[in-house]
Amino acid sequence: MNAKSLAPFMLASTTVVIDINGEIRELVPGEVPGPGEVIVVVGQGATAATEPQIEAQLIGDGGDNFNLDLDNEIASIIEQIEEGVDPTQNEDFATAAGGQNGSSPTGTGDIERTGAETLAETQFDTSGLESQGLSETQSLTLLDLVAQAVFVGDDAVTVFETDVPWVITGTVVATETDVPTFVPQDGVAGDNGVFSIDADGNWTYVANSAFDELNIGDSLIDVFPIESTDGTVGSVTVTINGTNDLPQFVATDDFIPGGGGGEDEQLSTFAFEDGVYSFDIPENTAADVPIGQVAAEDPDNDVLIFSISTNIQNEGGEDLFQIDPDTGVISLTEAGAESFVNDFEILENVHNIVVTVTEGDGVGEPQSVDVDVIFTELNEDDNAPIFDDTDEGGVYNFEYDENSTDEYVIGTVSATDADGENVTYSIKTNVFNDAEEPLFEIDSVTGEISLTAAGVAAFTNDYELAENEHSIVVTATEDEGLGPVKTTDVTVNLDEVNLDDNAPVFEDTDEGGEYNFEYNENSTDEYVIGTVSATDADGENVTYSIKTNVFNDAEEPLFEI
């Protein structure tokens, strides 16, 4: 076994087995080595002043473990290194250190100059290990492990995966030469990343990915052999351990049903910006109809559970929003469909809930992450105009004086639309004269009602002509905008008020407008000579008196009425 073949075993706290033939293997969990085999625990990071961390035990015939004394062997190898001799250059270890008392070797190898490279060989004695029960081949392999352990620095690094690929740097030092340098390597691909090292022992490892899929207990290991310029071989080991990553909410451009089968009736869930989901929902949405969807990913867990951790409730304490725990689809509850969150005209129209995603499987305590979900109600044209300030019967009643002008405002109607649309007014049913001219008019913007010019001249403006109670129908119409145009009608009763614009009129006079009566002489004062009669067009009572009479010499009136 040569030095390069040992590189994969030069991991910190690695346990290996040397069999009776000197072959080396890693001890797998649960394995029980057989009699005559050697168990070796290897630790790196020794210097000439700090011995390699390496322990060895020989398995006896009865299965008992016997600790091996490696002090002399380790000291001898370090002494050779301090003198510039590399024990790892002897590929077959024809002889090896061991067995002698003290720290000095029995001899040093000859230095051969071969071109540009100087090689040094050692001649060690293996008798010290053989005297403890090891075979020569086992002794050579064990000494090889000890020799390979003498690299110091960052030769074994362990990190925990993060959300971004690791870039790890370190430095190793070879202690076997006065000017330790390394064979440079650039862009060496491992199983999980790329490794580079310069002549000064500065190395860099760039992981292929973030390896978020690693969970607790999972590890990835890359081992890269390194070599000093005089041929000493070691290794740099990078271990990436897994962690339990938090779930992450993500955006998606999938579509979910929005109350119908048509594509136009679906809602996109591509609504995740600045860590917040935002959805627009039409008012009057039915319960259980999807109004939004959240999505999450977790590289460590296949099962994610959605819930609403902060909901909105009605006065009865009922939740107004609900979520499918498996799909993340959000909808209104029955209570929500009947509440203010589904009626644009009631209270606020922006609603904020908090959705939580929780790990449903994996290793360790389940982790959760929250996200804000904001719903904005969209106003629908679901309200017709409503007339304000009508009487209990839902009609308007206005009185106006006869003889009014066409500029006089008889009364004003007013209507509002709960959807916020503008309202205009018109007369649907009017009153007409014999020429079919409308007698009333209305301002389409203000709702002010007045007489037309024809109405001023018509019976509608003369209490004494025809009827004095007139009824029209006014229509309030919402503007086009949110949906189909809606209208509302109202009855408006217009009653003329009589004015005293007529004097009494005597009836049954002659053509000259006079009364002529005859009476017999010698009539009594009870005899009715004649009767005058007058009426008032305004309906007022009439009384009579004699304005100009006839008098006797005593100035007494001679006629009475």
Are 134 and 229 within one domain? no
The answer to which of 38-42, 123-127, 142-146 has the lowest mean pLDDT is 123-127
| Res. 219: pLDDT tops 70 | yes
Q: Residue 140: its pLDDT value, please?
A: 82
pLDDT in tens, 445-460: 999 999 999 999 999 9
Q: Residue 512: its pLDDT value, please?
A: 87
Are 10 and 99 within one domain? yes
| Res. 160: pLDDT tops 50 | yes
Are 220 and 344 within one domain? no
d(C-alpha 496, C-alpha 404), whole Å: 10
What's the whole-number mean pLDDT along residues 164-179?
A: 78
Higher pLDDT, 94 or 437: 437
Q: From the centroid of its chain, how far is CA 309?
A: 14
What's the whole-number mean pLDDT along residues 40-62?
A: 65
Are 255 and 317 within one domain? yes
Q: Residue 103: its pLDDT value, please?
A: 26
The answer to which of 23-37, 256-270, 321-335 has the lowest mean pLDDT is 256-270
Are 235 and 169 within one domain? yes
| Res. 288: pLDDT tops 60 | yes
Assigned token pair, 554: 């005593």
Are 49 and 183 within one domain? no
Are 24 and 119 within one domain? yes
d(C-alpha 546, C-alpha 549), whole Å: 6
Instruction: Spell 422-435 as b/e; 16+ CB within 10 A means b.
Output: ebbbebeebbeeee
CATH of the domain at 169: 2.60.40
Q: Residue 245: its pLDDT value, please?
A: 81
Collapsing DSSP states into helix, strand and coil, what is residue 447? Answer: coil
Are 512 and 550 within one domain? yes
Confidence band, pLDDT 50/70/90 cuts, at residue 94: very low
The answer to which of 86-100, 309-323, 470-484 has the lowest mean pLDDT is 86-100
What percentage of residues in the chain have a pLDDT greater than 90?
42
Are 13 and 127 within one domain? yes
Q: Residue 231: its pLDDT value, please?
A: 74
Put the strands of the sheet holding 469-478 in their side by side order: 396-401, 487-497, 469-478, 423-429
State the residue for tokens 């370090």.
78
pLDDT in tens, 345-362: 888 999 999 999 999 876
The 3-class SS string of 41-82 reads: EEECCCCCCCCCEEEEEEECCCCCEEECCCHHHHHHHHHHHH
Q: Cβ(259)–Cβ(268) under 8 Å?
A: no
Q: Which residues contact 427 (CB under 8 A, 6 or more apart)?
A: 438, 440, 441, 442, 472, 473, 474, 475
Residue 404 to residues 80, 108, 113, 473, Cα–Cα distance (Å):
130, 137, 133, 21
d(C-alpha 194, C-alpha 191), whole Å: 8
Comparing CA positions, the residue from 425, 402, 419, 377 lying closest to residue 494 is 402
Confidence band, pLDDT 50/70/90 cuts, at residue 167: very high
Domain boundary among the residues 497, 523, 547 is at: 497
Higher pLDDT, 137 or 51: 137
Could you tell me the residue range of the domain that residue 84 belongs to? Answer: 4-149
Collapsing DSSP states into helix, strand and coil, what is residue 546? Answer: coil
Are 444 and 561 within one domain? no
Q: Cβ(64)–Cβ(90) under 8 Å?
A: no
Q: Residue 56: its pLDDT value, please?
A: 86
What's the whole-number mean pLDDT along residues 237-246?
A: 87
Q: Cβ(424)–Cβ(470) under 8 Å?
A: no
The structural domain count of the chain equals 5
CATH of the domain at 493: 2.60.40.60
Strands (E) across 228-327 are located at 233-241, 248-250, 255-257, 266-268, 272-273, 276-282, 290-293, 295-297, 304-310, 321-323
Would you mind telling me the total number of residues written for the chain in this entry?
561
pLDDT in tens, 389-402: 999 999 999 999 99
Domain boundary among the residues 479, 497, 515 is at: 497
Phi and psi for 88 in degrees, rounded to 5?
-85, -5
The answer to which of 218-227, 325-334, 481-490 has the lowest mean pLDDT is 481-490
Residue 557 to residues 515, 527, 547, 553, Cα–Cα distance (Å):
19, 16, 11, 10
State the residue for tokens 């929005």.
258
Are 235 and 260 within one domain? no
| Res. 363: pLDDT tops 90 | no
Domain boundary among the residues 215, 241, 267 is at: 241
Are 8 and 115 within one domain? yes
Residue 154 to residues 12, 150, 201, 534, Cα–Cα distance (Å):
11, 13, 10, 132
